[in-house]
Structure 1
Amino acid sequence: MSDRMRPIPFGQLMDWIIEEYQTYGSIFGVSKLVRHAENDPRLPLFGEQMEAPFGPAAGPHTQLAQNLIAAYAAGSRFFELKTVQTLDGEDLPVAKPCINAQDECYNVEWSTELRVPEAYDEYVKAWFALKLLSREWGLGSPDGFIFNMSVGYDLEGIKSPKIDAFIEGLKNAENTPVWAECRAWALEHLGRFQKLDARYVEEISPRVCTSITLSTLHGCPPQEIERIATYLLTEKGLNTFIKCNPTLLGYEYARETLDALGFDYIAFDDHHFKEDLQFEDAVPMIGRLQALADGRGLAFGVKLTNTFPVDIAAGELPGNEMYMSGRSLFPLTVSVAKMLSKAFDGKLRISYSGGADITNVEKLFAAGIWPITMATTLLKPGGYQRFTQIAERLRGCGDQPFAGVNTAKVSEYVEDAMGDPYYRKPIKPLPSRKMKKHVPLVDCFAAPCRAGCPIEQDIPAYLRLAGEGRHLDALRVITERNPLPFITGTICSHRCMDKCTRNFYEDSVRIREVKLEAAQNAYDELLKELRPAAPAKGKKVAVVGGGPAGISAAYFLARAGVPVTVFERKRQLGGIVRHVIPAFRIPTSAIEKDAALARAVGAQFELGAEIGSAQELLDRGYTDVILATGAWKPGKLPLEYGGAMNVIEFLERCKSDPDGLSLGENVVVIGGGNTAMDAARAAVRAPGVKKVRLVYRRSRRYMPADEEELALALSDGVEFCELLAPVGVRDGVLKCEKMVLGAPDASGRRSPVPTGETAEVPADTVIAAVGERVDTALYERCGVAVDSRGRAVVDPDTLETGVPHVYVAGDANRGPATVVEAIADATKAAKAIAGVTVETYTATNASPDYGRALAKKGTLCTDCASCTESQRCLECATVCECCADVCPNRANLAIRVPGRRMRQIVHVDGMCNECGNCATFCPYDSAPYRDKFTLFWSEADFADSGNEGFLLLDAERQLYRVRLDGQVADYAVGEEGCGLPDEIRQLITAVWEGYRYLFGRQTVTTA
C-alpha cells in the first residue's frame, strides 16, 4: 500500500456524508452529534463567532476535509488547519509510522503531507460542506465556527507564490476552481436538501480564514519571527497568533519538571533551549507585535505551545528526534502560559494546545485562555467522539470577548499539575496492552481483558451482571472458570486490568474489585445451591498439595463428578497464600470460603498427609495424580560474608508468631519482586522496627514487582535503595556495590553495571527475597524429569509428565506463579483427565445492547468514584472498533454485515497515510492498516499493496479483484459459489449494498 492519501472530490464527499447520515445517523463514524441552537451564545473572535471555543489542533485531524467535518460533527467550532510550507507532498520527508500515542504522544510529522494546492482544496471543501450541513441538519449556526490557517516556516517560503496563493485563497476563495466546484455541486443538488435554497448557497461567504497561526522551526531567530509576524499583520492584514515553543522555560526547568513527574526517561539535551527564542527576547518582541496589531485593529496573541523535541531513545518511531505532546506537555505549556501572562499582566491573548483535554479545558477557559485546540486526546480510543463530552462541558460558554488572562488561576494550575496524579507517569513502564494474537479478517472484536487473563475469565459478562445488581448470576459466571473468587478478588495480579482498553481513557476498570464484590454479595446463595455431582465412573484422582492449584483442580474435577482427594502436608489449606502472604493483604476467611466451594461440590481433603511418591497413590487405586506443590524452597543470595534470612521463613514467622520477631531497628530486604514488597511491608509492621529499606541492583522502574505492589510499599514508608548490589553483611551494616544501568538485557530491562564504588546500608536484619524455587525431591522420587530451572517437564497441552497419569500444575510447572496461573494449570489438567469444560458463559460476554456499548465511546470518567465499574466497562466483546476510533482520516470503517452480530472493519487504502496510530491501539498484535481487509480505489493502488482486500472491476457484473491468503484472482461476487469464502463474499456484498458511496472516486474498468 502507499502512504499517500487520495483527496475525495467534493461530490463524493457530500454523497458519503448525506448517505451515511440518512442511513446510519452518523457522519464519518461520529454517531453522537453535537447540536447548537440558532440562539445559543457565541464567542466573538477575529470579527467572527464560534459556538464553542475548542477544536482540533494543526496536525493529523486537520489535514483532510473529512477530518474537519468529523470534528465539527463531534462539537468542534474552532479549527486550526494543518500547517503548510513550501516543502510539500512527496518531497516532504515524513518517516512512517509517524505517530505513537500509547501514553504521552510522540510524532515525527510536521506539515501537511499533501501538495499545498491539494491542502487548500481540502480546507475549502470542508468549509463549504459545513456551511451546508450546519443549516440542513440543525447542527448549529452556519456562522458559528472559525477556520484558522497555519503556515511556516520562514519569511521567504511564506512569500513564495505557492504559499501566497494559499493565504490569499483562504482570505477569499471566491474565484478559485474548488470554490466553483463546491458551489456548482450544491446548486445542482438542491433537491437533496430541505432547508437550503439557491440564495443560501450563493451567499455562503468565501472568506474562509481571517486569521493565521505562524509556526516556526526550532532555532528560528527572533528577528525572523518578528519579520514574518509583521508581514502577516501589515501586508496580509490577518489576525495573527505566533506559536511559541516550550523551550522558553529553559532546560533546567523542563528537565526538573519532567523528572519530578516520573518522565525522567524522556531524553533531550539543552541545544534547542539555547538555539530557540529566549524569554528575554520574546517579551519585547511580543510587545512590539501587539502594539502593531492594535494600531491596525487586528487581534494578536501567542499559541502555546508547539510540541516538545526529544530524542528517539527506545525505537518509539523511526529517526533520531521526535516531538512530544499530550499530558506530559501540559505542565510545561501551562508554565509558559504563567510566565507570559505575568509578563503582560494578563492582557496577552493565549491560544492553547499543550496537553489540553477533558480534564483541563474548563479550567483553561475559566482562566481566559482560549481558543483551545487538541490532538493527542483524539488519537486515543474514542477518537473524535471525545469532543462530544468536551462540547457539553463548554456549552453555554458565553458571548463575551476576550477580557484578559487570570494570571492567579494560571499560576494555580501550574501548582495543581505538579501534584495531580493524572500528570504523573507510573513508576514502572506500561505493560503491553496487546493480545498475543494476530487480528483476523472478520469478527475481530475481542475483550482484551479475557486474553490477558490466564483462565480467560468471562469478565465482560460478570461486570455487566454485577452492574445490574445480579451478583449471584455474576458469581456463577466467575466460578465457572475460577473456583477461588475470594483469593483472586483480593490478591490476583490482575493481568486482565493491564489489557483493559479503559487504560487509554483514564484507568483500568477495577475488575478484581468487582469479582470480590460479587463473591461477598452472593457467596451464601451460591454455596446453598452447590451439590456434589453424580459420580463419574472410571476415574479417581489424587491431588498432592492444598494450595491454589490443588484446590482448583479438586473443584473442577469434583464438579464434573470425578472422585478427588487433596493431600496437604500442612494442617491447613491454602499453601503459600495462607502461610506466607501477609494477613494485611488477605484474611484467612477468604481462603476458607474458597476451600468451602470445593468441598461443596464434593472434593475431599486430607490434611497433615505427607505423600512420598505418585506411585504410592496409584497403588492405592487412584487413576491419576496431580502434583501441585508450591515454590517453598528458598532462592540463593550469594554474599561474600555474613548471611540473610530467607523471605519464606520470615513471612511464615510473621503469620505464625508476629510478636515473637526480633529484627532490630533497621531491616533490609534484598529483591525487587512482589514477595520482596510483601516482606518489606511486613517488616514495617514488626515490633521494634524503625526503618525498612529495600535494596535492588536496578532502579525501581525495572523491578519485577507489579506497579501496585511498589506503590503500596512506598506508601507504607519503605525506602527504596536503588542501583545497589549486596556484597556482604557484618556488624549491622550491609555493604553494597553501586551500579549504573547499562544496555537492555534480553527481557528489555537495562542491565546493571558495577561502578567499583561502594555504599553502606544500616542492617540489623537482612531478608533475602531473590526468587523462590520448587523443591524437586518429590518429583525425583516420582520419576518426573525436571529441567535446569527445577521445573517439571510436561506436555504443554495436557501437563502430563513422562510418567503416565501423573500431571503437574502450578509452581512446579511454571516456577513461582500467580494464583490465577495456578488455576489455569488446574483447568488444563482437569480437562486432560476428565474432559472438564468451562465454556458455559463464553457467549454471554457480548452484550445484547449494542447501542449501550457504542454510546460509551469517547466518554471519559472525570470522577471515576461516582461511576460503577460496569458503567466504565467499554464492553469490547460487543463493540471494539478502536482502529476506526483512532484513525484521524477515517480510513478504518465499521461496516454492518447482514447475519453478523458485530460490525466488520474494512480499511480504505486511499484514505490512509500509514501514520501507524491504529497499530498502537488495536488490541491484537497487529496493524489494521496492513492487516484488515482493504478496499482499493484503483488498480495501481491494488498492485502496489500487499494487503488482503478487494477492488471493484465491473459494477454491473459485481466483478472484483481480490487478494486473499496472498493469492490474487477475480470473482463475480454476486454469483453463488463464486469461490470466495462466505464471510468474505458477505463482507464485500455488504460494502456494495450498504456503503456504495465508498466506491465513488475509483475508475471502474471492464475486465
Structure 2
Amino acid sequence: MGKVTGFMEYERVEESYEPAPVRLKHYKEFVHGLKEDEARVQGARCMDCGIPFCNNGCPVNNVIPDFNDLVYRGEWQRAIEVLHSTNNFPEFTGRICPAPCEAACTLNFNDVAVGIKSIERAIIDRAWSEGWVQPQPPKARTGKKVAIVGSGPAGLAAAQQLARVGHDVTVFEKNDRVGGLLRYGIPDFKMEKSLIDRRIEQMKAEGVTFRTGVLVGRMPEGSRVTNLAKETVSAEQLQAEFDAVLLAGGAEQPRDLPVPGRELDGIHFAMEFLPQQNRVNAGDKLKDQIMATGKHVIVIGGGDTGSDCVGTSNRHGAKSVVQFELMPMPPEQENKLLTWPYWPYKLRTSSSHEEGCQREFAIATKEFIGENGRVTGVKTVRVEWKDGRMVEVPGSEQVLKADLVLLAMGFVSPVASVLDAFGVEKDARGNARASTDFMGGYQTSVDKVFAAGDMRRGQSLVVWAIREGRQAARAVDEYLTGRSDLPR
C-alpha cells in the first residue's frame, strides 16, 4: 500500500489553521485542507502492514489502505468510490471525527500515524469540486414506505441507503432545519452547514422526503431540549401509514448538576447555548440570546461539547473562560505499548483551547453562588481518586467568579417521550432496547419499529451514528423484502 518505503521517507503533514486572532473574528471553518501533493505524500506513508488495524479502528470500517494507495497514485475518482462504499458522509467525519483509525494505525505504534482523516477530507472535498458526487436514484421502486424519526447522521445515513434501494423514505425532524446534531450541536467553525445542505439536495433527488418542524410523540412538560416544532404526529399515525419506522433521534437528555444554587439565572446546558449561535449564523433573529460577551465563563465538562462552548464563548468576546474536568489531568503522551491499537488515554488539546482557555482538572463543583437571583461565582473543591472513589482534598475549597456557567457533562439518554409514544422497551440507561444481531438487528420490542444511533446506543460519535444508520437500513430492507443487498 502506498509507497513501500514511504513511511520511512516522509513525515506526517498536518492540516494548517488560520491564526487564532483571525479566526476568532468569524464563525466559518478555519482549517485548510491538504493540497494535492501533500495528500499524496500522506498516502505514501501508508504501510503494507499485513493487518490494517485502522479498518477495525474505524466504526464504519472504511477501507483505508485502499483509498490511501489510490490517492498516492493520483486516482482520486476511484478513491471516492472506495470511501463512499462504507461512509455516506465523509465530509462530516473528515472534519469532526476524532479519528480512532489513526490511533489504530500500525505506524502509530512507534512513530506518528498516517494522516487518515486529512486524506479522507481531501478526497471528498475534491470529489465535490469535480462534480463526482451525484444523486443515485433507484432503478425501481418497491412500494414500501419507511418513516425515519430524526435527521441526524444516523437518520440521514439510513434514509439515503433505503432510498437508493427503492423504498419511499420520509424523514421527520422536529427542528426547522434538517441535520439534528450536525446542524445545531456542532459549531459552524468546526463544520459549515452548507455541507449538510448539499447532501440534503442530493438525497431529495434520490427520492427522500423531509418534513421539518414535526414532533413525533409529545415533548414532556418542563423539557429543556430545544423544540421549535409546529406540528405533532402521533406514533400511531406513523405505524398506520408506514411499513417500517426507524427511530434515529439523538440522546438529547443532558446530564444535570444538582448542587445548591442550580436554579440561578445564568446557568445553562450547553445545548441551550450552542444551537442559538448556529441559528444566528443561519440568519435567524433571536430574542434574549445567551451571550458570553464581556463575561467570566465557566464551562463544566472537559469533552468535545465543552470545547465547543469554549470556542463559541471566545468568539462572543468573553472576558475569561475556564473549563472544569472532574478527572485528573491525563498524560500528554499515551503509553502505546499498553493501549495500541485502542483509543488512548492522553491529554487532548483542541483548537478552541488554543484560542484561550484556562483548564482545571480534578475539580468538582460544590455550589453556585449568586446575587439577586443571578449566578456570580462557583464554589469548587479539589478532588483525588483513590481506589476508584472520588475524595475531596481538605482545605482546597475556593470560589471562582462566574457570570455565565455552561453545563457540558454529556447526555444520559434520549428524550423519553418518543420511546414512550411507541411503547418501546428501554434498557437500563433509558435507551431503546434493540440488539445488533445479524438476524432481526436493530428491531425494538414493537413490531416494525427499529432504533439506531444515539437513541439506541446512547451518546456517541457521528461516525458511530453513520454506521448504525447504515446497518439499520439493511435490517429494515431485510424486514420489508426478505433480503438485502445493502452492506452490513
Q: Is the 8 A contact 2:127 2:133 kept in 1?
A: no
Q: Is the 8 A contact 1:647 1:679 kept in 2?
A: yes
Higher relative contact order (CA 8 A, sep 6+): 2
Coordinate RMSD, CA, aligned: 2.9
The Cα of 1:524 is off from its aligned counterpart by 5.3
For 1:774 and 1:636, how far apart are their aligned partners in 2? 14
Q: Is the 8 A contact 1:533 1:561 kept in 2?
A: yes
Matched residue SS, 2:316: coil
The Cα of 1:837 is off from its aligned counterpart by 4.3
- What's 2:468 paired with? 825
The Cα of 1:752 is off from its aligned counterpart by 3.1
- What's 1:771 paired with? 410
Q: Which has the larger radius of gyration?
A: 1
Opposite residue 692 of structure 1, the aligned amino acid is V
Structure in which a larger fraction of residues adopt helix: 1
1:809 aligns with 2:448: no
Cα pair distance change 1:530/1:774, threshold 3 Å = same
Q: Is the 8 A contact 1:799 1:809 kept in 2?
A: yes
1:481 aligns with 2:83: no
Q: Paired residue for 1:741, among 347, 365, 385?
A: 385
1:577-596 Cα shifts (integer Å, max 9, x gaps): 11121111111112223333
1:618 aligns with 2:239: yes
Q: 1:185-224, aligned counterparts within 5 Å?
A: none
Cα pair distance change 1:463/1:730, threshold 3 Å = same
- What's 1:756 paired with? 394
Cα pair distance change 1:597/1:498, threshold 3 Å = farther
1:565-615 Cα shifts (integer Å, max 9, x gaps): 111121211111111211111111122233334334322212222223443
- What's 2:38 paired with? none
The Cα of 1:838 is off from its aligned counterpart by 5.4
Q: Is the 8 A contact 1:776 1:786 kept in 2?
A: no
- What's 1:628 paired with? 248
Q: Paired residue for 1:506, among 89, 102, 111?
A: 111
**Which deviates the most, 801-810 or 705-714?**
705-714
1:867-925 Cα shifts (integer Å, max 9, x gaps): xxxxxxxxxxxxxxxxxxxxxxxxxxxxxxxxxxxxxxxxxxxxxxxxxxxxxxxxxxx
For 2:74 and 2:378, how far apart are their aligned partners in 1? 54
Opposite residue 363 of structure 2, the aligned amino acid is L
For 1:668 and 1:753, how far apart are their aligned partners in 2? 22
Opposite residue 617 of structure 1, the aligned amino acid is L
Cα pair distance change 1:723/1:838, threshold 3 Å = same
The Cα of 1:786 is off from its aligned counterpart by 1.1
- What's 1:646 paired with? 269
For 1:530 and 1:616, how far apart are their aligned partners in 2? 30
- What's 2:190 paired with? 585
Matched residue SS, 1:726: strand
1:449-480 Cα shifts (integer Å, max 9, x gaps): 11011111111111222222222221121122
Percentage of matched positions with identical amino acids: 30
Opposite residue 720 of structure 1, the aligned amino acid is R
The Cα of 1:624 is off from its aligned counterpart by 0.7
- What's 2:71 paired with? 466
Q: Paired residue for 1:547, among 147, 152, 155?
A: 152
Cα pair distance change 1:614/1:495, threshold 3 Å = farther
1:452 aligns with 2:57: yes
1:692 aligns with 2:321: yes
1:721 aligns with 2:360: yes
Cα pair distance change 1:837/1:682, threshold 3 Å = farther
Q: Is the 8 A contact 2:299 2:408 kept in 1?
A: yes
Q: Is the 8 A contact 1:791 1:812 kept in 2?
A: yes
Q: Paired residue for 2:309, among 679, 695, 699?
A: 679
For 1:561 and 1:505, how far apart are their aligned partners in 2? 48
Opposite residue 729 of structure 1, the aligned amino acid is F
For 2:378 and 2:187, how far apart are their aligned partners in 1? 25
For 1:753 and 1:486, how far apart are their aligned partners in 2? 44
The Cα of 1:825 is off from its aligned counterpart by 0.8
For 1:702 and 1:796, how far apart are their aligned partners in 2? 35
Cα pair distance change 1:528/1:668, threshold 3 Å = closer
For 1:716 and 1:457, how far apart are their aligned partners in 2? 32
- What's 2:203 paired with? 598
Q: Is the 8 A contact 2:57 2:101 kept in 1?
A: yes
Q: Is the 8 A contact 2:184 2:275 kept in 1?
A: yes
Q: Is the 8 A contact 2:296 2:401 kept in 1?
A: yes
The Cα of 1:502 is off from its aligned counterpart by 1.7
Unaligned runs of 5+ in 2: 10-48, 218-233, 333-342, 371-375, 479-483
For 1:610 and 1:709, how far apart are their aligned partners in 2? 37
Cα pair distance change 1:518/1:838, threshold 3 Å = farther
The Cα of 1:505 is off from its aligned counterpart by 4.3
Cα pair distance change 1:667/1:529, threshold 3 Å = closer
For 1:811 and 1:697, how far apart are their aligned partners in 2? 24
Q: Paired residue for 2:291, among 654, 657, 662?
A: 662
For 2:128 and 2:106, how far apart are their aligned partners in 1? 29
For 1:715 and 1:817, how far apart are their aligned partners in 2? 25
Matched residue SS, 1:649: helix
TM-score of the two chains, using structure 2 as the length reference: 0.75
Q: 1:28-67, aligned counterparts within 5 Å?
A: none
Q: 1:113-512, aligned counterparts within 5 Å?
A: 445-512=50-117
Q: Is the 8 A contact 1:787 1:793 kept in 2?
A: yes
Q: Is the 8 A contact 1:633 1:774 kept in 2?
A: yes
For 1:540 and 1:525, how far apart are their aligned partners in 2? 34
Opposite residue 786 of structure 1, the aligned amino acid is K
Q: 1:934-953, aligned counterparts within 5 Å?
A: none
For 1:730 and 1:582, how far apart are their aligned partners in 2? 29
For 1:470 and 1:477, how far apart are their aligned partners in 2? 11
Unaligned runs of 5+ in 1: 1-30, 33-381, 390-443, 746-750, 841-1007
Opposite residue 399 of structure 2, the aligned amino acid is E
Q: 1:822-901, aligned counterparts within 5 Å?
A: 822-835=465-478, 836-837=484-485
1:546-577 Cα shifts (integer Å, max 9, x gaps): 11111100111112222211111212111111
